[in-house]
Amino acid sequence: MLRHFICTLFFSWSLIVFGYGAPANLDEEQNIYAQIYNAPIKLSPTQAQVSLADIYNRKPMLLAFVFTRCTGVCSPFLLQLNETLRQISGKYLYQVVVLSFDPRDDVEAMQSLSTRLHLEKSTQWIFATTDSITALNLSLGFDPIWDSSTNQFDHEALLVGVNTQGYITKKLLGIRGDLELRQMLASINNAYIPSYRLPADNDLFSCFTYDPTTGKNIPNLGLLIIALPALVSFLLLVCIAFFSRNKAAKWTE
Protein backbone atom coordinates (compact mmCIF):
# COMPACT_ATOMS: atom_id res chain seq x y z
CA MET A 1 0.00 0.00 0.00
CA LEU A 2 2.86 2.31 0.92
CA ARG A 3 4.39 1.67 -2.54
CA HIS A 4 1.15 2.68 -4.27
CA PHE A 5 0.92 5.77 -2.12
CA ILE A 6 4.48 6.82 -3.00
CA CYS A 7 3.84 6.13 -6.73
CA THR A 8 0.69 8.27 -6.65
CA LEU A 9 2.54 11.08 -4.92
CA PHE A 10 5.38 10.92 -7.42
CA PHE A 11 2.96 10.84 -10.35
CA SER A 12 1.06 13.87 -9.05
CA TRP A 13 4.31 15.72 -8.52
CA SER A 14 5.54 14.90 -12.02
CA LEU A 15 2.25 16.12 -13.46
CA ILE A 16 2.60 19.37 -11.58
CA VAL A 17 6.23 19.96 -12.49
CA PHE A 18 6.33 18.88 -16.10
CA GLY A 19 2.74 19.13 -17.29
CA TYR A 20 2.25 22.83 -17.17
CA GLY A 21 5.03 24.69 -18.80
CA ALA A 22 3.49 28.03 -19.79
CA PRO A 23 4.94 30.89 -17.76
CA ALA A 24 2.54 33.52 -16.43
CA ASN A 25 2.09 36.65 -18.58
CA LEU A 26 2.45 40.14 -17.25
CA ASP A 27 -0.41 40.67 -14.90
CA GLU A 28 -1.38 43.06 -12.19
CA GLU A 29 0.21 41.02 -9.44
CA GLN A 30 3.78 41.11 -10.64
CA ASN A 31 6.16 43.38 -8.72
CA ILE A 32 3.54 44.28 -6.12
CA TYR A 33 5.19 45.43 -2.86
CA ALA A 34 8.51 45.72 -4.68
CA GLN A 35 10.44 48.98 -4.66
CA ILE A 36 10.05 51.08 -7.79
CA TYR A 37 13.28 52.04 -9.57
CA ASN A 38 14.24 55.54 -8.50
CA ALA A 39 14.70 56.96 -12.01
CA PRO A 40 15.93 60.47 -12.71
CA ILE A 41 13.16 62.40 -14.46
CA LYS A 42 12.93 65.67 -16.32
CA LEU A 43 9.87 67.87 -15.76
CA SER A 44 10.61 70.92 -17.88
CA PRO A 45 13.27 72.11 -20.34
CA THR A 46 14.61 74.68 -17.90
CA GLN A 47 14.68 72.71 -14.65
CA ALA A 48 17.37 70.23 -13.69
CA GLN A 49 16.55 66.55 -13.38
CA VAL A 50 14.92 65.34 -10.19
CA SER A 51 14.52 61.79 -8.95
CA LEU A 52 11.23 59.92 -8.88
CA ALA A 53 11.73 59.61 -5.11
CA ASP A 54 11.61 63.40 -4.82
CA ILE A 55 8.09 63.19 -6.22
CA TYR A 56 6.65 60.18 -4.37
CA ASN A 57 8.31 61.07 -1.03
CA ARG A 58 6.22 64.24 -1.05
CA LYS A 59 2.89 62.64 -1.85
CA PRO A 60 1.64 59.16 -2.92
CA MET A 61 1.83 58.81 -6.70
CA LEU A 62 -0.17 57.34 -9.56
CA LEU A 63 2.24 56.67 -12.38
CA ALA A 64 0.74 56.48 -15.89
CA PHE A 65 2.77 55.26 -18.88
CA VAL A 66 2.12 56.74 -22.33
CA PHE A 67 4.00 58.10 -25.36
CA THR A 68 3.14 61.22 -27.29
CA ARG A 69 2.97 59.65 -30.76
CA CYS A 70 0.50 57.06 -29.53
CA THR A 71 -2.50 56.63 -31.82
CA GLY A 72 -4.12 54.00 -29.64
CA VAL A 73 -5.09 53.80 -26.00
CA CYS A 74 -2.91 56.59 -24.50
CA SER A 75 -5.20 59.60 -24.89
CA PRO A 76 -8.49 57.85 -23.97
CA PHE A 77 -6.62 56.33 -21.02
CA LEU A 78 -5.49 59.71 -19.68
CA LEU A 79 -8.81 61.41 -20.40
CA GLN A 80 -10.75 58.69 -18.61
CA LEU A 81 -8.29 58.71 -15.72
CA ASN A 82 -8.70 62.45 -15.32
CA GLU A 83 -12.48 62.15 -15.50
CA THR A 84 -12.70 59.35 -12.96
CA LEU A 85 -10.31 61.03 -10.53
CA ARG A 86 -12.46 64.17 -10.65
CA GLN A 87 -15.51 62.12 -9.66
CA ILE A 88 -13.77 60.49 -6.73
CA SER A 89 -14.00 62.49 -3.52
CA GLY A 90 -10.83 64.10 -2.26
CA LYS A 91 -10.41 61.76 0.70
CA TYR A 92 -6.99 60.55 -0.36
CA LEU A 93 -3.71 62.32 -1.06
CA TYR A 94 -2.31 61.69 -4.52
CA GLN A 95 -0.56 63.15 -7.55
CA VAL A 96 -0.48 61.80 -11.07
CA VAL A 97 2.82 61.46 -12.89
CA VAL A 98 2.49 60.86 -16.63
CA LEU A 99 5.75 59.42 -17.89
CA SER A 100 6.74 58.69 -21.45
CA PHE A 101 8.29 55.31 -22.15
CA ASP A 102 9.32 56.37 -25.67
CA PRO A 103 12.99 57.49 -25.73
CA ARG A 104 12.15 59.80 -28.66
CA ASP A 105 9.83 61.93 -26.51
CA ASP A 106 11.23 65.05 -24.92
CA VAL A 107 9.89 67.35 -22.20
CA GLU A 108 8.42 69.78 -24.74
CA ALA A 109 6.39 66.99 -26.33
CA MET A 110 5.09 65.96 -22.91
CA GLN A 111 4.17 69.56 -22.09
CA SER A 112 2.17 69.87 -25.29
CA LEU A 113 0.42 66.62 -24.38
CA SER A 114 -0.57 68.17 -21.04
CA THR A 115 -1.86 71.23 -22.88
CA ARG A 116 -3.90 69.06 -25.24
CA LEU A 117 -5.49 67.43 -22.21
CA HIS A 118 -6.04 70.81 -20.47
CA LEU A 119 -3.93 69.70 -17.55
CA GLU A 120 -1.03 72.08 -17.91
CA LYS A 121 -2.18 74.22 -14.98
CA SER A 122 -3.09 71.36 -12.68
CA THR A 123 -0.84 71.02 -9.64
CA GLN A 124 -1.83 67.36 -9.26
CA TRP A 125 -0.64 66.32 -12.72
CA ILE A 126 3.04 66.09 -13.67
CA PHE A 127 4.28 65.26 -17.19
CA ALA A 128 7.82 63.98 -17.46
CA THR A 129 10.41 62.01 -19.37
CA THR A 130 13.28 59.82 -18.21
CA ASP A 131 16.48 58.52 -19.72
CA SER A 132 16.33 55.41 -17.51
CA ILE A 133 13.14 53.91 -18.89
CA THR A 134 14.58 50.39 -19.27
CA ALA A 135 15.46 50.09 -15.57
CA LEU A 136 12.14 51.63 -14.57
CA ASN A 137 10.18 49.26 -16.82
CA LEU A 138 12.09 46.32 -15.39
CA SER A 139 11.18 47.27 -11.83
CA LEU A 140 7.51 47.34 -12.85
CA GLY A 141 7.42 44.26 -15.08
CA PHE A 142 6.31 46.54 -17.93
CA ASP A 143 7.43 45.53 -21.41
CA PRO A 144 6.19 47.73 -24.33
CA ILE A 145 7.25 46.24 -27.68
CA TRP A 146 8.14 48.41 -30.67
CA ASP A 147 6.26 47.53 -33.86
CA SER A 148 8.17 49.03 -36.80
CA SER A 149 5.37 48.24 -39.28
CA THR A 150 2.97 50.59 -37.47
CA ASN A 151 5.58 52.87 -35.91
CA GLN A 152 3.82 52.28 -32.63
CA PHE A 153 4.49 50.52 -29.35
CA ASP A 154 2.44 47.45 -28.60
CA HIS A 155 1.69 48.15 -24.91
CA GLU A 156 -0.87 48.04 -22.16
CA ALA A 157 -2.35 51.14 -20.55
CA LEU A 158 -0.48 50.81 -17.28
CA LEU A 159 -1.24 52.72 -14.11
CA VAL A 160 0.99 52.05 -11.10
CA GLY A 161 0.24 53.08 -7.52
CA VAL A 162 3.32 54.01 -5.47
CA ASN A 163 3.28 55.00 -1.80
CA THR A 164 5.54 57.57 -0.18
CA GLN A 165 8.15 54.89 0.60
CA GLY A 166 8.42 53.97 -3.07
CA TYR A 167 6.63 50.62 -2.81
CA ILE A 168 4.39 49.51 -5.66
CA THR A 169 1.06 48.94 -3.92
CA LYS A 170 -1.18 48.25 -6.90
CA LYS A 171 -1.12 48.00 -10.66
CA LEU A 172 -4.00 48.41 -13.08
CA LEU A 173 -3.93 47.42 -16.73
CA GLY A 174 -6.34 49.05 -19.15
CA ILE A 175 -8.95 51.75 -18.61
CA ARG A 176 -10.61 50.97 -15.29
CA GLY A 177 -13.61 52.14 -13.32
CA ASP A 178 -13.88 54.27 -10.20
CA LEU A 179 -14.04 51.33 -7.79
CA GLU A 180 -10.60 50.09 -8.75
CA LEU A 181 -9.19 53.60 -8.79
CA ARG A 182 -10.53 54.17 -5.29
CA GLN A 183 -8.78 50.98 -4.20
CA MET A 184 -5.58 52.17 -5.79
CA LEU A 185 -5.80 55.54 -4.04
CA ALA A 186 -6.45 53.78 -0.76
CA SER A 187 -3.50 51.45 -1.29
CA ILE A 188 -1.00 54.23 -2.04
CA ASN A 189 -2.19 55.87 1.16
CA ASN A 190 -1.34 52.61 2.96
CA ALA A 191 -4.94 51.61 3.66
CA TYR A 192 -5.59 47.85 3.78
CA ILE A 193 -7.15 46.56 0.57
CA PRO A 194 -8.43 43.01 0.61
CA SER A 195 -7.43 41.27 -2.59
CA TYR A 196 -7.15 37.71 -3.82
CA ARG A 197 -4.94 36.62 -6.67
CA LEU A 198 -6.78 35.91 -9.89
CA PRO A 199 -6.43 32.29 -10.95
CA ALA A 200 -3.75 31.71 -13.55
CA ASP A 201 -2.95 28.69 -15.70
CA ASN A 202 -0.05 27.78 -13.46
CA ASP A 203 -2.12 27.94 -10.26
CA LEU A 204 -3.65 24.46 -10.26
CA PHE A 205 -4.96 24.25 -6.74
CA SER A 206 -6.58 27.60 -6.22
CA CYS A 207 -9.16 27.60 -3.42
CA PHE A 208 -11.52 29.77 -5.49
CA THR A 209 -12.11 30.72 -9.10
CA TYR A 210 -13.25 34.27 -9.64
CA ASP A 211 -16.13 34.54 -12.07
CA PRO A 212 -15.90 37.98 -13.73
CA THR A 213 -19.44 37.78 -15.10
CA THR A 214 -21.06 37.39 -11.69
CA GLY A 215 -18.24 38.84 -9.57
CA LYS A 216 -18.44 35.79 -7.32
CA ASN A 217 -15.82 33.33 -6.10
CA ILE A 218 -16.59 29.72 -6.95
CA PRO A 219 -15.03 27.05 -4.68
CA ASN A 220 -12.23 25.21 -6.43
CA LEU A 221 -9.98 22.17 -6.03
CA GLY A 222 -7.82 23.80 -3.34
CA LEU A 223 -10.66 23.71 -0.83
CA LEU A 224 -10.96 19.96 -1.31
CA ILE A 225 -7.25 19.50 -0.68
CA ILE A 226 -7.67 21.04 2.78
CA ALA A 227 -9.83 18.05 3.70
CA LEU A 228 -7.35 15.56 2.24
CA PRO A 229 -5.13 14.99 5.34
CA ALA A 230 -8.12 14.05 7.49
CA LEU A 231 -9.60 11.80 4.80
CA VAL A 232 -6.30 10.04 4.11
CA SER A 233 -5.57 9.46 7.78
CA PHE A 234 -9.02 7.97 8.43
CA LEU A 235 -8.59 5.75 5.37
CA LEU A 236 -5.17 4.71 6.64
CA LEU A 237 -6.68 3.96 10.05
CA VAL A 238 -9.34 1.70 8.56
CA CYS A 239 -6.77 -0.09 6.36
CA ILE A 240 -4.39 -0.64 9.26
CA ALA A 241 -7.24 -1.90 11.43
CA PHE A 242 -8.31 -4.31 8.68
CA PHE A 243 -4.83 -5.68 7.97
CA SER A 244 -3.77 -5.77 11.64
CA ARG A 245 -6.82 -7.82 12.60
CA ASN A 246 -6.20 -10.21 9.70
CA LYS A 247 -2.61 -10.61 10.81
CA ALA A 248 -3.62 -11.06 14.44
CA ALA A 249 -6.22 -13.64 13.44
CA LYS A 250 -3.61 -15.60 11.43
CA TRP A 251 -1.23 -15.63 14.39
CA THR A 252 -4.01 -16.86 16.69
CA GLU A 253 -4.84 -19.67 14.27
Partner 1 sequence: MESLKLKKITALWVITILVLFLAAIVLGILMRLNQAEVINQEPLTFYTNMTTHGLTMIGIWFVAGMAAVNYLLQRYVKTSYTANLFAFILTVLGVVLLWLCTYLGKFNTGWTFLYPLPFKDLGAAPWATPLFLVALTILGLGWLVWSVSMMAKILQRYTLAQAFAWQHLSKQPKSETPPFILITMITLVGVIAALIAAVIVIVLFFAEYFSKGSFVNDALLMKNLIYFFGHTIANEMLYLGVAVIYEIFGELSGRPKWKTTWYVSLAWNSALIFILTAFFHHLYMDFVQPEGLQIIGQLASYLASLPSVAVTVFSIIVAIYGVRIQWSITNCLFFLGVIGWVIGGLGAVIDATISNNIVLHNTLWVPAHFHTYNAMGNVLFSLGFFYWFTTQHVSKLVISKLTKFALIVLIISGIGFLMAFYIGGADSIPRRYSTYPEALTTGPALARMGAYFACLYLLVILMFFYNIAKRCFAILSAPSSSVGA
State the DSSP code for 35. B
Pick the binder of partner 1 from 179, 197, 211, 216 (CB under 8 A). 197
Min separation Cβ 1 and partner 1, Å = 11
Surface-to-core class of residue 101, CB atoms within 10 Å of its CB (0-12 exposed, 13-18 middle, 19+ buried):
buried
Min separation Cβ 21 and partner 1, Å = 5
Min separation Cβ 177 and partner 1, Å = 21
Q: Report the sign of the C-alpha dihedral through residues 232, 234, 235, 236, in that order.
A: positive
Min separation Cβ 15 and partner 1, Å = 9
Distance of CA 40 to the CA centre of its chain: 24
Rounded to whole angstroms, the Cα distance separating 205 from 15 reads 13
Any contact of residue 194 with partner 1 (CB under 8 A)?
yes
Cβ-based nearer residue to partner 1, 50 or 236: 236
| CA trace torsion 212, 91, 43, 163 (10° rounding) | -70
Any contact of residue 190 with partner 1 (CB under 8 A)?
no
- Residues at the interface with partner 1 (CB under 8 A): 9, 12-13, 16-17, 20-24, 194, 196-197, 200, 202-208, 217, 219, 222-223, 225-226, 228-230, 232-234, 236-238, 240-241, 244-245, 247-248
